[in-house]
Structure 1
């Protein structure tokens, strides 16, 4: 080997060594800067807690149970390390009030910028969930708010009823007490049909067996999100190319469909044609008044609504059905309220929803124990003292409604499903429960979601009895959102005396 090549190799090795030593020095600096904050022992100097977190996520297990254990052991403010990065968990009502409620505390750019692209394909971009620029986000929210108001959504109650009724008709075909029904899959079809129709005027007709690729596409991008967070480099590894290409294909499909839908509607409005008075039309009208609203941004929110608007409501309803199968007393009380408010009516009115107080309590308690969106993150720009702990600025603050909802210090006997916690007269701890986040960046779609959930659950209780099939577990699966692991497979039979008006 020639001397110049040996020299070149030596210099390359020396450079690598210097880079490694420099990185090690920086990691040590980070440790010194943050190690006064309590936290579990690191697995290794460089990896930090990454091995523990990676193991906790195997087979889509619920990583938030690990965070709960750490919160119980290390207190309300604790840190985790991953390579040179530090994240702070704030399991503290005071911190939530100070930072989650504040319009001055933006979303963590690093965390949410991860979802701008998904394996190189534009995904959620700068939509409402991922936009970390508060001023830019506020402009978006101002355009979107009218379309998600109670007043506007009250006008589309007929569509909520129509799609929920289709599910009831399918259940009637299977309600022999023997056939097994996967409730999570069926409710997924309903919520996707609803968001498609109510938001975008699209007829998917999934419950009728329509062969649309949308359910598969959404499932794949959700799975892709989990892998992308854990291993963003996997797109460069040959053994993962097939999976990555499938996720990319599904991302392209969602965006292509959204683009066609938006362009078609804009053209119809410009031509003076009759258009559905759905959420998309309302948003386009508001965007026209606002002016200068980017088409790519509109498309980012199309994807956001399709995923968030469908997935979280389906998971909430599925968890609720799952839990009710072991709560006969709560089930009886629910049925009594539905009988009193709805009776034999086929269509549930907007006014009826406000009278279903115990249904509301049950759905809230379901969100406490099984929040589909388990938490959120904000960015701490400046040094602060939180719960007596000095926290250097420049780090994300993680808030977990899942963890706080399962801690006895906030909710007595937290593993007991008790809807009376949300009785209007019951005392409630402040800033401990935020399944839709809190403050100015709380979820835009929470009214939409809970209207839909009430309609579906009330119709289900009005007409059917259901029992969990033997062998089903009550375990939680973490797919970015939390969902029942075993799909809530039940047998169904008609409820005695459940005849209804036509």
Structure 2
């Protein structure tokens, strides 16, 4: 074969490969999306210009749903196609289908931190084994041991907030997020990082940087590509942050494993300490001890799951708690009912010994939390990827379709929640369970949040403590939150309330 012939073959391949991709994959996806309405698009960019920032993205998908319905076709760039979905029947099909387990391709940007943990792995045998091993770590007998940790961290939070008493405009999120990170470190690894008392915590800073970089990569046209990202400043920041995060987690795992092996070797394992108190079993302990069908997790797999828990468990509870405090500040009648329930449980005791049973008794506060999660879901949108052809209502959804589940959209649907803009916890007193997929702050189906009971318990503990100690009021001057779906839903200008010691 002559050189000129080789060049012709190369040129032909360059031309034919994109055509093959188009007619075998992309064209099938485009034909599928012809069945759905789409907002006006511009050439090449499609609808991408509507998503130039987080707040604009949030407003755009809200307007898309309002104008075009519960199933909307969005085109992102020249070849990207996304189905924005908030239709109940479709979400029920999607979230319960065992053949649709893959999460959004954006989750790959988390892998440098959490590896192939439960949040990022796309179903299959590994996901099933890890899920079966991890689920018992959130049994109520484990969770009730965490109540003392919640109480200890929230006591520090109360001390910090007491210094703000009388302040008519306090950014509550700054305090709550540090408290949540203290809680997650102690419940996940059994270690005290004490970021509430350490302003310059390197671990806290590294967590925040990795969350920021994850968001930056999901929203940047250039940073999405690894070969470009490697030449950015964020790549160097990521390397340094991962050294801190992975180094800390690995050292704790190593220490815990040696401790476990030593106790087993000496045959002196006991679930009580030297003072006769029951030892707390944290998330890491459960992973080290667990096995399914004789198969346990390696140290690296345990590190991935612990870091996954760290990523998914601190920001979600912090933002949910902050938004709930904002709602309580804005709705004094609801706040008064929460306080009344607290007084019924604890009486006049200022610093009661709070138990797991006490938290279970807070039925009204639980409805308050559910209503807050409806209005301000920490994860208002989340992705699914169709990784094999599936049939829905007689039509084939082709492999490669990206779906954006708009949970906030169904939470604001008046068909399920009359007067949806109103903060009304009483609506959850009458929920009959007829539409379980109309309330999905923790997703639903086989890939629902494995830690949702943990999250509810922690949020309940923090709110209970704060309301018993402080009276909340709307911030002055008036504060309107600027909402943006980042790693979780956040307010770009803080979550401000007025605060006064009771």
Q: Same fold (TM over 0.5)?
A: yes
1:139 Cα deviation after fit: 0.5
Match among 61, 64, 74 for residue 70 of structure 1: 64
Q: Which range is displaced more, 301-310 or 401-410?
A: 401-410
Matched-pair contact (CA < 8 Å) for 1:42–1:81: no
Aligned-partner SS, 2:84: strand
Q: 1:405 to 1:309 in 2, by over 3 A?
A: same
Question: Does 1:285 pair with 2:289?
Answer: yes
Measure, in 1, the Cα distance between the counterparts of 2:185 and 2:326.
Answer: 26
Match among 394, 402, 411 for residue 405 of structure 1: 411
Measure, in 2, the Cα distance between the counterparts of 1:251 and 1:487.
Answer: 27
Measure, in 1, the Cα distance between the counterparts of 2:101 and 2:419.
Answer: 34
1:48 Cα deviation after fit: 2.9
Alignment-derived partner of residue 479 in structure 1: 486
Alignment-derived partner of residue 452 in structure 1: 458
Aligned residues: 480
Alignment-derived partner of residue 89 in structure 1: 84
1:331 Cα deviation after fit: 1.2
Q: Which range is displaced more, 19-28 or 450-459?
A: 19-28
Matched-pair contact (CA < 8 Å) for 2:102–2:385: yes
Measure, in 1, the Cα distance between the counterparts of 2:256 and 2:293.
Answer: 16
Question: Does 1:242 pair with 2:233?
Answer: yes
Matched-pair contact (CA < 8 Å) for 1:161–1:455: yes
Residues 31-89 of structure 1: CA deviation (Å, up to 9, x unaligned)? 75234222324634433322323x2xx2x326233222222322232322233232223
**Structure 1 spans left out of the alignment, 5+ residues:** 1-7, 117-121, 496-502
Residues 96-115 of structure 1 aligned to structure 2 (within 5 Å): 96-108=91-103, 110-115=105-110
Aligned-partner SS, 1:115: helix
Matched-pair contact (CA < 8 Å) for 1:43–1:52: no
Match among 250, 253, 259 for residue 268 of structure 1: 259
1:472 Cα deviation after fit: 2.4
Question: Does 1:254 pair with 2:245?
Answer: yes
Alignment-derived partner of residue 170 in structure 1: 160
Q: 1:471 to 1:19 in 2, by over 3 A?
A: farther
Q: Which range is displaced more, 181-190 or 104-113?
A: 104-113
Alignment-derived partner of residue 443 in structure 1: 449
Question: Does 1:156 pair with 2:154?
Answer: no
Q: Which range is displaced more, 184-193 or 240-249?
A: 240-249
Alignment-derived partner of residue 5 in structure 1: none
Q: 1:247 to 1:215 in 2, by over 3 A?
A: same
Measure, in 1, the Cα distance between the counterparts of 2:227 and 2:396.
Answer: 40
1:230 Cα deviation after fit: 2.3
Q: Which range is displaced more, 335-344 or 81-90?
A: 81-90
Question: Does 1:128 pair with 2:118?
Answer: yes
Alignment-derived partner of residue 313 in structure 1: 317
Aligned-partner SS, 1:282: helix
Measure, in 1, the Cα distance between the counterparts of 2:228 and 2:383.
Answer: 30
1:296 Cα deviation after fit: 2.0
TM-score of the superposed pair, with normalisation by structure 2: 0.86
Measure, in 2, the Cα distance between the counterparts of 1:238 and 1:452.
Answer: 36
TM-score of the superposed pair, with normalisation by structure 1: 0.86
Q: 1:170 to 1:238 in 2, by over 3 A?
A: closer
Residues 200-211 of structure 1 aligned to structure 2 (within 5 Å): 200-209=189-198, 211=200
Q: 1:20 to 1:94 in 2, by over 3 A?
A: closer
Matched-pair contact (CA < 8 Å) for 1:126–1:300: yes
Q: 1:209 to 1:108 in 2, by over 3 A?
A: closer
Residues 137-152 of structure 1 aligned to structure 2 (within 5 Å): 137-152=127-142
Measure, in 2, the Cα distance between the counterparts of 1:228 and 1:92.
Answer: 29
Aligned-partner SS, 2:159: helix
Q: 1:136 to 1:488 in 2, by over 3 A?
A: same
Match among 489, 492, 495 for residue 496 of structure 2: 489
Aligned-partner SS, 1:271: helix
Matched-pair contact (CA < 8 Å) for 2:169–2:477: no
Residues 324-343 of structure 1 aligned to structure 2 (within 5 Å): 324-343=328-347
Residues 227-278 of structure 1: CA deviation (Å, up to 9, x unaligned)? 1112363365699722332133213321121111111111111122878532
Measure, in 2, the Cα distance between the counterparts of 1:280 and 1:211.
Answer: 26
Alignment-derived partner of residue 214 in structure 2: 225
Measure, in 2, the Cα distance between the counterparts of 1:262 and 1:248.
Answer: 21
Measure, in 1, the Cα distance between the counterparts of 2:309 and 2:167.
Answer: 36
Aligned-partner SS, 1:38: coil
Residues 293-308 of structure 1 aligned to structure 2 (within 5 Å): 293-308=297-312
1:152 Cα deviation after fit: 1.2
Residues 161-202 of structure 1: CA deviation (Å, up to 9, x unaligned)? 111111112222332x03753210100111111111122111
Alignment-derived partner of residue 191 in structure 1: 180
Aligned-partner SS, 2:34: coil
Q: 1:145 to 1:327 in 2, by over 3 A?
A: same
Residues 87-121 of structure 1: CA deviation (Å, up to 9, x unaligned)? 223322222222202333212363433432xxxxx
**Structure 2 spans left out of the alignment, 5+ residues:** 1-5, 264-268, 274-278
Residues 339-380 of structure 1: CA deviation (Å, up to 9, x unaligned)? 111332433211111111110011101100111112333343
Matched-pair contact (CA < 8 Å) for 1:39–1:78: yes
